Structure 1
Amino acid sequence: MKPESSSSSTFLSSPLKNIVTGFLFVYVLLCSLPVSLANNLKNFIDISWGDGRGQMFNNNELLLLSLDRSSGSGFQSKNEYLFGKVQMQIKLVSGNSAGTVTTFFLSSKGDYHDEIDFEFLGNTSGNPYTLHTNVFSEGIGNREMQFYLWFDPTADFHNYTIFWNHQHIVFYVDEIPIREFKNFQDKGVPFPQYQAMRLYSSLWDADNWATRGGLEKTDWSQAPFKAYYQNFCEDGCFWYNGYSSCTPNSNSWLWGNFDNDYAKKGQMKWAQDNYMIYNYCQDSKRFPQGFPLECYLNTS
């Protein structure tokens, strides 16, 4: 469900096989540092497609992606990560955005790629956006969970975060966890942990499926459609020429999860109880022979 420009091909080796023992040149920005350090988006992001429809303004502090009948647009991070935390403030397409999809996702390359998705599915005016999340491992996805948001994502900027370590993946909206995908690889569930991923974002037309399963088509009289981005932040194990910037004992966040953080668990339960509108682990029509294995292993 992405433009072809967002993926191609190759496997990368395990993060534990090639640990840097000498120096490693990477541009590291910790998300715990003041956000103002990340304001110059040109230091961290390349506009990758769109023939001028993606632009930076305000001394490169604000990024615009636009979509018209001819093309959408997109950007990607300069860095790749093998575990990490990426976050950005996004203001989505306003008005009648039916048929449009705004994405913010991590992805490796190739047919057997890994991917962690935020996708914002446009709507007709007055109806809520659908926040679509998915996790791919070794080229296999089909792990969709969808939410409505508890605010208007077009009225102001809101923060969206992907947190990924060897124990789990967590999706956050304004620092509230909405979904966790745990690592059950030891029980036979593939988990993204061997391929470096880059951050991508795009605004594109998908009116064959995006809004009410394709019933609502893109109204091109509303074009150009525009989404805005600011305050990008990245932290993690940066991948450079086949090497990870992390060692097994570095970065305490790399080895932690929130299993014992009852406040965060409570927030996630609140989000899912009140705003989740689809969970693949509850779709018996789609999986009449039984749900995927991870659905039975205490994953969210």
Structure 2
Amino acid sequence: MIRFDANAAGPLDGIRVIDLSRLVAGNMLSLQLADFGADVIKIEPPQGDPLREWRDDGHSLYWKTYGRNKRSVMLNLREAPHMAALKALLQTADVFIENFRPGTLEEMGLAPATLLEANPDLIIVRISGFGQTGPYAQFPGFGTIVEGMSGFAYRTGFPDREPILPPLALADMIAGVYGASATVTALFARFRGKARGQVIDLSLLEPMYSVLGPEAAIYQVTGKVKQRSGSASNTASPRNVYRCSDGQYVALSGSTPQVAKRIFEVIGKPEMNDDPRFATNSDRVRHRDLVDAAVGEWFARHPHDEA
């Protein structure tokens, strides 16, 4: 059994992170660093991070999740002594995270050039909806907008129904993970002597495009926009969510020839392995309605635990 030692030093032990962000993206980013041992100091306004008010049955579980392994400091940055305290902290920091509207940091007297002059090794992560520059820089950039604009919502759901937004802060969480990767890369470059301080311009939009994989390339090359397909896949068959006889569901994927062959045998349809309509994965995808009908019929006759 693996034993968990809460006091064990992580690989980022000794790295100080000042997190001035609010809500999910920045907190997700600093959470990754905190979980790997970084000393994350969360700067909160007097009323606290708005994430504290996201509650379930009165419990601030979002904050408990995203705020774990961090220290919190209350600063009212409208007051000169508190701003001075922040600047002093930044001189001791390795990483600084913020997610204000582009230009706000400069208005506060915390322009990257100023911060890097005081601390040349500081890595500054700037999170926004659409980046610090460009035609959309000043547009509101909440995760919901990005989930729609990226095409993610359009690709999610069933073809005869409306696009579906994810029921969680997906764009923010993905941006946070991408931002953590970029931050660790910048730290690694600094440790190798390849660079000193850097500015990471992290938008919410670009990571969402990235996780969509080749969708943009498919359109550029073929001129076709991928449509919603429910839980079915355009790249593998059988692949779907199937209803069992007791009303519960099973998610199944046969994305390799060997797995698909075994599935057809288990459902009592070994002849499908010799049918040219199902000979290859591409063939099975083209005839996925027939595949789903056969697989779905088997699940409909078996309870969840048996399936």
**TM-score scaled to structure 1, two decimals?**
0.22
**Bigger Rg over Cα:** 2
Whose strand proportion is higher, 1 or 2? 1
More contact order relative to length (CA 8 Å, sep ≥ 6): 1
**TM-score scaled to structure 2, two decimals?**
0.21
